[in-house]
Amino acid sequence: MIVRKLRTKRSWSQEQLADFSGLNVRTIQRVENGQKASLETLKCLASVFEVDMDTLTEEITVIDKETETWKELPWLFRANMLGVNSRESLIKIEVALLIFAVANWIIQPDEIFTPIMFLSVYATGLLTRYGDSKKVW
């Protein structure tokens, strides 16, 4: 995923990247499709792109809000993503809401607030799954 972004940013073909890195084109294809890469492959790619290996190994889940794909998403989804730039951030929000909802339910249940908190957890989960289905990350 990140490899594809780095490659297209430089306007390289997969064949060119394979030549520059000394890797097989099939290896480049597998890495771009999200399959695990060996340490040697990561070293070669990091060298060619002049980035740390950590950059290549981190899961790319950042929202690119400049793309046409982002702009074509429903406004309601985009509005809910204000201030949220990654899938991990949204998951953290969901977990925090869940902990808060359960704590509220156990400590001081309320007829209105507790269901609203659980509904917020559910809605956040739906946002995450929707983002997954539309490959936003």
The dihedral of CA 40, 45, 46, 50: what is its sign? positive
Q: Could you state, in chain order, the average pLDDT of each consecutive group of 10 residues for the chain (137 residues)?
A: 85 94 92 82 91 72 71 90 86 95 94 95 94 84
* Residue bearing tokens 């977990």: 95
Structure confidence at residue 84 (pLDDT): 85
pTM above 0.75, yes or no: no
**Which pLDDT score, from 0 to 100, does residue 58 have?**
66
What are the CA-CA distances from residue 35 to residues 19, 121, 125 (Å)? 20, 31, 26
Predicted confidence at residue 60, as pLDDT, reads 45
Beta bridge partners of 62: 86
pLDDT at position 20 is 94
